[in-house]
Amino acid sequence: MDNKAFFDLTYGIFLIGAGSGGKMNACITNTVMQVAASPTRVTLSCINGNYTPELIKAGKCFTVGIVDETADYGYIENFGMKHGRDLDKFEGYDVKYDVNGMPYLTDHVCAVLSCKVVSEEDLGTHTLFIAEVVDAVKVADNSPLTYADYFAKVKPRKDETKDERKIIGWKCRICGFTVDGPELPEDYRCPLCDHPRSDFEPIYEE
């Protein structure tokens, strides 16, 4: 099994919004696609244990903001690399609510889908949601950001991040698994998703 083969799968970048019981959160994912028409259905895969899928399971609804090429690294970092249990990721943003009462943003997204969960399947590391799209709105004419373009154009290159900050841990950018400490052995593999060291990014001291 050559794990590099999986890097050739093409994805977009999405801002998933969800809420339940007065709480709400959003996260970044690359795993949304349309899988049926009439009624229109999409699939969304989320890492088990994260806050957003927990809220989706409770509220049975979510929004998909299709992130566009105007998004910068700070935006992706805020929604994709922080923990919504600890802080309010929406702070400073003008949050809107869709027909299902689910939160979404119009910042850096070109379209928003309102989704109602039809079924969910636990796949071990992830839960796969199948959802009906009950509303869809175009927000901007910007091109959608692809996962490949995120790595090529948005994510800071290694030399740009070669700064004074102290590395205190490493995070798998595939599944989100984190390891404490400044060093990560060259032959290290993620114990959760088995991806190699090259898929880990440093966590810096705040």
Q: Which stretch binds a second copy (CB under 8 A): 16-24, 77-85, 90-98, 131-139?
A: 131-139
Judged by CB under 8 A, the chain residues 152 through 191 that form the site for a second copy are 174-175
* Sole binder of a second copy in the list 90, 93, 147, 188 (CB under 8 A): 147
Check if the beta carbon of residue 188 is closer than 8 Å to that of residue 197: yes
Q: Residue 117 or residue 193: which is nearer to a second copy going by CB?
A: 193
For 41, phi then psi, to 5°, come to -130, 145
The letter for the amino acid at 14 is F
CB–CB of 115/61 below 8 Å? yes
Q: Give the C-alpha separation, 178 to 26, whole Å.
A: 20
Is 113 a residue that touches a second copy (CB under 8 A)?
Answer: yes
Which of 139, 126, 100, 130 is closest to 27 using CA atoms?
126
Q: Which is nearer to a second copy, 40 or 167 (CB)?
A: 40
Q: Is 21 in the site for a second copy (CB under 8 A)?
A: no
Asked whether position 138 contacts a second copy by CB under 8 A, the answer is yes
- Give yes or no for residue 34 binding a second copy (CB under 8 A): yes
Residue number with CB closer to a second copy (7 or 204): 7
Answer yes or no whether residue 43 interacts with a second copy by CB under 8 A: yes
The residue from 19, 27, 41, 104 that contacts a second copy (CB under 8 A) is: 41
Query: Residues binding a second copy: what is the number (CB under 8 A)?
Result: 55
Q: E strands, 30-138, where?
A: 32-36, 41-47, 61-67, 96-97, 103-104, 109-122, 126-138
